[in-house]
Amino acid sequence: GQNIDQPTEMTATEGAIVQINCTYQTSGFNGLFWYQQHAGEAPTFLSYNVLDGLEEKGRFSSFLSRSKGYSYLLLKELQMKDSASYLCAKVGREYGNKLVFGAGTILRVKS
């Protein structure tokens, strides 16, 4: 199957740290993408992980564990503008080399 699971919604406070988890079935897996999408806008590329471990890009970091079928997106020093939907998507030959998306996690940042 191609199940990708993310929490539906999360709420966090401005300035805090939040971790958004994503689990997926590992068969045929090649890599995992994270996108940010503000309401009414296009998804914006955040990261792509192929190897195990943590990759840091400014306030955003993404982690992957291939053996566990698990990834997370870590957002530090939250800002109000980080309120958005966060989408994880996997890619792999078994799913035809296309992005297969989870339903997304709506993050609400409150002051």
Which of 31, 55, 60, 74: binder of other proteins (CB under 8 A)?
31
Contact 110, 9 (CB under 8 A): no
Nearer to other proteins, 40 or 111 (CB): 40
Give the range of 15-23, 31-39, 56-64, 66-74 binding other proteins by CB under 8 A: 31-39
Nearer to other proteins, 17 or 103 (CB): 103
Size of the site for other proteins (CB under 8 A): 23
**How many CB atoms neighbour CB 105 within 10 A?**
20
The residues of the shown chain that bind other proteins, judged by CB under 8 A, are: 30-31, 33, 35, 41-45, 48, 50, 87, 89, 91, 96-104
